Amino acid sequence: MPLIAIVIAALAIGVEQFVQWKLGPMGIIAFLAVAIGIKAKNTMIGGIGAVVLVMLLAQSG
């Protein structure tokens, strides 16, 4: 079980670093909004974060 937790944590850190490298600080804020929305089961916060991420990805593409 601890190995799975370490792998998941490493994956989360890797995704966060990729978002920060690719999309900058606004990408991190959007990523955190999605994570907080999922954790708190708040669809509004998660939806806002998802929309911002999609807009950033469409802009950088």
Helices 43-60, 2-40: inter-axial angle, 10-degree rounding: 100
Give the number of other CB atoms < 10 A from CB of residue 51: 13
**Would you state the pLDDT for residue 9?**
86
Is there a contact between 15 and 30 (Cβ–Cβ < 8 Å)?
no
pTM of the model: 0.68
User: Which band of pLDDT confidence, cut at 50, 70 and 90, is reported for residue 3?
Assistant: confident
What is the domain partition of the chain in residue ranges? 2-60
Query: pLDDT of 5-61, one tens digit each?
Result: 888 888 888 887 877 787 888 888 888 899 899 999 999 999 999 999 889 888 865
